[in-house]
Structure 1
Amino acid sequence: MSTTRAVDGHNDLPWQLLKKFNNQLSLPAANLSELQGTHTNIPKLMTGLVGAQFWAAYVPCETQDKDAVKRTLEQIDVIHRMCLKYPETFACISDSEGIEEAFRTDHVASLIGVEGGHSIDSSMGVLRTFYRLGVRYMTLTHSCNTPWADNWLVDTADEKPEHHGLSDFGKRVVKEMNRLGIMVDLAHVSVETMKDALNVSEAPVIFSHSSAYGICPHQRNVPDDVLQKVKETRGLVMVNFYSDYVSCSHQSNLSQVADHMDYIKHVAGAEAVGLGGDYDGVGRVPVGLEDVSKYPDLVAELLRRNWTETEVRGALAKNLVRVFHEVEQVRDRMLSEEVPPDDVPIAFEALQGSCRTRYGYPDDSRDPDNSGDPDSGDRPTYLPALLALFFLAGCLL
């Protein structure tokens, strides 16, 4: 691990910074060198030999159709400010080469993953803007359906499918992510959505924090037929440490996490295994993996199970770097082919929520006569009122 540091696919420290401090990194209690009550702080990252971290820009499903974009921008901002405030520790990077450079300079490469497609508010323009701000993966759903994708809860009795996977717009979102170079993350999505995305994506996909259904049959985990497809498409499953997904109970241990890694290795190949601890996003973690300082103990367990050095280095970092690089290669190919940005908006009728304007759509209420004058729809029209008055006067007479 001194030369191949751990790359973790998902850490919710930014969410903790919002909940505890409203993202005020200037507060003394928010000092990441001394932060208490979290799975993650700078000393723990150093002890755990973490060399790269995808920080989750997460906002809850209740923001959907409200302030999801604003809230997500604030979470992206706090990640950038972490790098600015602690430049000796964090290096915000946005490409696969940056991870290996951070290893050489002894920094924690800091990358951004948006957790939940509701964060783009069904807008390709917002997706492209997130890319420019450094976002390099997006989880297609969190624990709610979007207007274009079904989440994992539809595979339970708690929620009904709306799209049976991805809608046509959802498939276009995946294609646009390929064009941009944003990794498609299938943690939190339904099995039908997994399969649709795997069929549509031209680049390998990731599961940033999911485990093996064959070990723990929880709907947040990845079933065997999907693992086979991950193998065929050179994707990656970054194993989650949440006890409920590890053991299907409230208690788990480090050995059981290694069981998931063994299982994915057996079904999908060693090249499909990664780490996605979900630290600071879950309340129950395995005994032996209490925080981010414990990654070396997991590596020791894999070596005890006769994983080769090559396989361990792959699970630590090289598998993710390879997937990231292949995503960039697809992006570069699409750029050379001059594939244009997708600028066709989602149908207005597919959107929900009352706080929406219709600008740009054919029946824009601000321009009812399509005159080109957006203020024409605001001018008072007196004729109906006058007719109503005449009618009322006639009745009275």
Structure 2
Amino acid sequence: MADLQDDIPATTEVCADDGLPDDPFAEEPYDPADETLQQAHSVLARHPVADGHSGLPWALRHLPWYDLELGEMAVDTDVPRMRAGRVGALFWSLHLPEGLAGDRAVGATLEQLELAHSVTASHPQGLRLVRTAGQVIDARHCGRVAIVLGPAGAAALDDSLGILRILHALGLRVLTLAGTTWASEAGLTRFGEEVVREMNRLGVLADLSGASDATVSRATALSRTPVLCTRSAARALRPHPANLPDDLLTELGAAGGLCMVPLTAEQTGPTVRDVADHLDHVHAVAGPRSVGLSGTFDSGAPHPRGLGDASRYPHLIAELLRRGWSESDLSLLTWGNVQRVLRSADFTARAAEHRREPSTARIAELDG
């Protein structure tokens, strides 16, 4: 689908070389000899980052040639920079440009899945495609970055639970519940609730970033597996529509869900300290078991100064150490919370294997 290969803007850092005068209040670069930064590297060596959202698959469609193991400066994410940033797992977004629906959305998502399989197969020394929490651990022990496929957009289902099962069989593990008639501003319809139940049966996690408040609340309560918000910060600090208000953060925390704070200037602010403020807020409101990280690299969004690519996670962890975060809480933030949610999805799917048949529900029957 050559017509889908629209140019995406290069990701930039806020306050980078944009032709404007330097901000007199901008942060000074971190001293590489900083003991706190060295401590951050030590923490991440034990508890690497599970990054909740990467736009790398779509970005790679526009490159005629690339080598992620050697290093690829045309994107924000490659194996050397992930190793420098202590990234152990990466969720690959399969989201599509706005406006695609029906057969075109299904076809484009299948192309994205095929590309993801091809990229990981051609970079075996650095990447490993995974489907379960156990395989994430295995990849880490082998020195590979575990690649989790998703989130994909709900439009990719074309209102069909059969297509959901096909995408799952091809490796999809996360689906965003937004932008459809059955997951809208009004919340989940009866068919939307059946989609969530079938996702639970399969082990596909629900991503609620960008969903309406009504959809977030209902899906959080309905799902037997903890839900994700793969790119949501605190709306109380920055009123972005994808950010979550405190009441939903509280609900998410009570249900064991996970809010993965994005490293984007638009949602969190232009500095490392702004991102840390959001992490502090989500940690306080939702709880330490409900906060995670989402680089959102290669998405075309500007990033805070000092957090321009996948190698920069130690600088963010150093800021949190300065604020008094314990290693226990940092281990949950970077790795533990994602592992808990993935294990829960695996367990729920195994438990449902012999108790629930594949759903044959159709949208016309439930919502007609």
Same fold (TM over 0.5): yes
The equivalent position to 2:297 in structure 1, one of 279, 284, 301, is 279
Q: Do 1:53 and 1:109's aligned partners in 2 also have CA atoms closer than 8 Å?
A: yes
Q: 8 Å contact 1:65–1:121 — kept in the other structure?
A: yes
Residue pairs, 1:1-397, within 5 angstroms: 1-18=44-61, 20-21=62-63, 27=64, 29-32=65-68, 33-141=70-178, 145-150=179-184, 161=185, 164-247=186-269, 252-336=270-354, 338-347=355-364
| TM-superposed deviation, 1:43 | 1.8
Kept after mapping to 1: 8 A contact 2:194/2:361: no
State how far apart, in whole Å, the 1-side matches of 2:311 and 2:281 are: 24
What secondary structure does 1:61 align onto?
coil
In the TM superposition, residue 349 of structure 1 has moved relative to its aligned partner by 11
Would you say the 8 A contact 1:147–1:350 is kept in 2?
A: no
The AA in structure 1 aligned to 2:100 is T
Q: 1:3 touches 1:103 (CA, 8 Å); kept in 2?
A: no
Conserved? CA contact 2:238–2:268, under 8 Å: yes
| TM norm structure 2 | 0.85
For 2:94 and 2:343, locate their aligned partners in 1 and report how far apart those are by CA, in whole Å.
Answer: 22
| Distance in 1 of aligned mates of 2:300 and 2:171 | 25
2:151 and 2:253 map into 1 onto residues whose CA distance is 24
Question: SS in structure 2 opposite 1:339?
Answer: coil
CA separation in 2, counterparts of 1:319 and 1:253?
Answer: 25
Aligned partners of 1:71 and 1:238: how far apart in 2? Answer: 26
Separation of aligned partners in 2, 1:323 and 1:264? 17
> Highest CA radius of gyration, 1 or 2?
1
Moved more, 326-335 or 110-119: 326-335
User: Amino acid of the residue matched to residue 360 of structure 2?
Assistant: D
- 1:391 corresponding residue in structure 2: none
User: In the comparison of the two structures, how many residue pairs are matched?
Assistant: 324
Name the SS for the 2:296 alignment partner.
coil
In the TM superposition, residue 348 of structure 1 has moved relative to its aligned partner by 8.2
Question: Matches of 1:84 and 1:218 in 2, distance apart?
Answer: 37
The corresponding residue for 2:41 is none
1:31-69 deviations in Å (ceiling 9; x for gaps): 223322321122211211111001111212321124111
TM-score (norm 1): 0.79
C-alpha displacement at 1:350, in angstroms? Answer: 6.9
Q: Supply the AA of the counterpart residue of 2:356.
A: V
Q: Is the 8 A contact 1:115 1:140 kept in 2?
A: no
Retained in 1: the 8 A contact 2:91–2:151?
no
**1:223-265, Cα deviation, whole Å (9 max, x unpaired):** 1111111111111001111211113xxxx11111111110001
AA partner of residue 82 (structure 2): L
Q: Matched residues in 2 for 1:80 and 1:49: separation?
A: 23
Shift of 1:210: 1.0
Judging changes above 3 Å, is the alpha-carbon distance between structure 1 residues 349 and 261 closer, same or farther for their aligned structure 2 residues? closer
What is the letter of the counterpart of residue 339 of structure 1? R
Q: Is the 8 A contact 2:221 2:255 kept in 1?
A: no
Rounded Cα–Cα distance in structure 2 between residues aligned with 1:188 and 1:182:
18
**Against the structure 1 CA distance between its residues 350 and 71, is the aligned structure 2 distance closer, same or farther, given a 3 Å change threshold?**
farther
Q: CA deviation at 1:166?
A: 0.9
Q: Which runs of 5+ in 2 are unaligned?
A: 1-43
SS of the equivalent of 2:283 reads helix
How far, CA to CA, are the matches of 1:236 and 1:222 in structure 2?
A: 12
Out of 253-262 and 37-46, give the one that drifted further.
Answer: 37-46
Letter in 1 for 2:127: F
Structure 1: which 5+ runs fail to align?
22-26, 151-160, 352-397
Residues 271, 298 of structure 1: CA spacing in aligned structure 2 closer, same or farther, 3 A cutoff?
same
What is the CA–CA distance in structure 2 between the aligned matches of 1:266 and 1:191, rounded to whole Å? 20
Q: Could you say what secondary structure the match of 1:319 adopts?
A: helix
- Give distance in 1, aligned partners of 2:71 and 2:315: 23
Aligned to 1:67, what secondary structure does the other structure show? helix
CA deviation string 1:353-389 (max 9, x = no partner):
xxxxxxxxxxxxxxxxxxxxxxxxxxxxxxxxxxxxx
Which structure ranks higher in relative contact order (CA pairs < 8 Å, sequence separation ≥ 6)?
2
Query: Can you list the C-alpha shifts for 1:114-171, whole angstroms capped at 9, x where unaligned?
Result: 3310011111011011111111111112xxx312111xxxxxxxxxx4xx01111111
Distance 1:317 1:54 in 2: 13
Cα displacement (A) at 1:217: 1.5
User: Using the alignment, how far apart are the partners of 1:218 and 1:79 within structure 2?
Assistant: 30
Find the aligned partners of 2:282 and 2:301 in 1 and give their Cα distance.
Answer: 24
